[in-house]
Amino acid sequence: MAAAVVRRGAAGWRRWHGRVMVCSRAMASKTPVGFIGLGNMGNPMAKNLVKHGYPVIAYDVFPEACKEFQDLGAQVTDSPADVAEKADRIITMLPSSPNAIEVYTGANGILKKVKKGSLLIDSSTIDPAVSKELAKAVEKMGAVFMDAPVSGGVGAARAGNLTFMVGGVEQEFDAAKELLTCMGSNVVYCGEVGTGQAAKICNNMLLAISMIGTAEAMNLGIRLGLDPKLLAKILNMSSGRCWSSDTYNPVPGVMEGVPSANNYQGGFGTTLMAKDLGLAQISATNTKTPVPLGSQAHQIYRMMCAKGYALKDFSAVFQFLREEETL
């Protein structure tokens, strides 16, 4: 076995045993953290890091998204590469696989200036195969990549109680968890790189199916003369109960503080759900896994995007079903 090599940088002591890295970041608690992607989810996540005392170095492709963080004292940069130059722990929260590839490997990407030993955590929901390719590219630069997609939506991001599903080198999990617990109440190690993404797309496929089922059941009950609040109450004390019925009900007027109470604004967009279901379809094809309900859900959300629902919350499937009598 190769002799152990000890390195020290801003991220603390690192011990290398051959090609396997074991690291301790006990001294790194309040060193700067890079955050790339300040959208609906990234914004509150980065704010929670600031609340926990971490100096944040921020970047977003839309400069106006960064202004709020400048006011909070964060340092704003001009590119992902500049973030990598200034921070050796970076979290990315991006809309899609192409965005992630560009941010990491593009002309002004993270890998242009990443420091050896840096910890790069991607909380985007992307193709597990893309996560694995990014991990290989990052490893060649002497850094560490972990995929850590989230569940819980914007509300959980604001409250700091997201669930993180983490894939990567197990020895690095504690280092990642130090940051992720500032933004989430559940941080689960799933296995090697890509398994976090695998868990996330399985969860979102089930979420889409259950939301469509809840919307169908509520719509049918209302047309049969049931009061929607009464029907929701019955469902939620019966075997049909699910998150879509008891926490995120899609029927306007049934619950407060959810997108259905605000004309389906905010929350988790229909376009993003269609994207995640597409990822599930790709994975199902690659693994020869039958997912008939997942496939049908994908088609429904694609139709919603084509019918003007793209920017509405995915629970707007109730409104879609009410209006599309021909389905």
- Which residues have a catalytic role annotated? 200
Residues near 291 by beta carbon (within 8 Å), at least 6 away in sequence: 205, 280, 281, 284
Residue 288 counted as an annotated binding residue: no
Residue 33 counted as an annotated binding residue: yes
Residue 72 counted as an annotated binding residue: no
The angle that helices 42-51 and 64-71 make with each other, rounded to 10 degrees, is 10
Residues 57, 77: contact at Cβ < 8 Å?
A: yes
Residue with tokens 């075997």: 239
Residue 110 counted as an annotated binding residue: no
Characterize 53-90 residue by residue with b for buried, 16 or more Cβ atoms within 10 angstroms of its Cβ, and e for exposed.
Answer: ebebbbbbbeeebbeebeeeebbbbebbbbbbbbbbbb
Residue 255 counted as an annotated binding residue: no
DSSP 16-74: EETTEEEE--GGGTTS-EEEE--STTHHHHHHHHHHTTPPEEEE-SSTHHHHHHHHTT-
Residue 99 counted as an annotated binding residue: yes
Residue 252 counted as an annotated binding residue: no
How many other C-beta atoms are found inside a 10 Å radius of the C-beta of residue 197?
Answer: 28
DSSP 216-233: HHHHHHHHTT--HHHHHH
Residue 186 counted as an annotated binding residue: no
Residue 50 counted as an annotated binding residue: yes
Residue 316 counted as an annotated binding residue: no
Residue 54 counted as an annotated binding residue: yes
Helices of type H across 123-269: 128-140, 153-159, 173-180, 195-223, 228-236, 243-246
Distances in whole angstroms, Cα of residue 236 to Cα of each of 145, 201, 233, 249, 316: 41, 25, 5, 10, 20
Residue 320 counted as an annotated binding residue: no
Residue 253 counted as an annotated binding residue: no
Residue 234 counted as an annotated binding residue: no
Residue 45 counted as an annotated binding residue: yes
Residue 120 counted as an annotated binding residue: no
Q: Which residues carry a binding-site annotation for NAD(+)?
A: 31-59, 94-95, 99, 125, 275
